[in-house]
Amino acid sequence: MKKIYFILLSGLFSFNVLANDDFSVSEAPLVESLPTNELEFVDTIGLLRPDEVSKILGEPKKVINITLESSKEVIASSWYYENINTDYEGNYYPVTEIDIVDGYIESVVFLNSTMEDIATVEGQKYEIKKPGKVF
């Protein structure tokens, strides 16, 4: 009879230990760095969320947010970085603009202008391809 109690108690103890352990798997980042080449950058950045981009690139030099007037909720943002991307010849673009809509990276624009001239200069714009669904 003592053996049965011992087996039951050890089984309950084991179940309690397993129930209290946190077996969550930490997600390793899909990408740890972004390429500087514009085409490779565009292909890679579409795999990331905005918070992952800011972890890799750091805080943007400038941020412009578009908010709803009624709720002040940010619905879109443009992030501006300096000298992070190159063209196919290896020349750096002075400014890279990353456009975020509803929490997703929608487009990237490479500008041949300074941060002060970004409102008046056109650039090379790429739409970001969203990864396909797994199922």
Residue ranges per domain, the chain? Answer: 32-127
Identify the pLDDT of residue 19. Answer: 47
Beta bridge partners of 111: 95
Count CB neighbours of 68 within 10 A.
Answer: 9
d(CA 106, CA 118): 18
pLDDT digits (tens, 9 = 90+) for 61-108: 999 998 888 888 888 999 999 999 999 999 999 999 999 998 899 999
What is the pTM for the complete model shown?
0.70
Identify the pLDDT of residue 59. Answer: 96
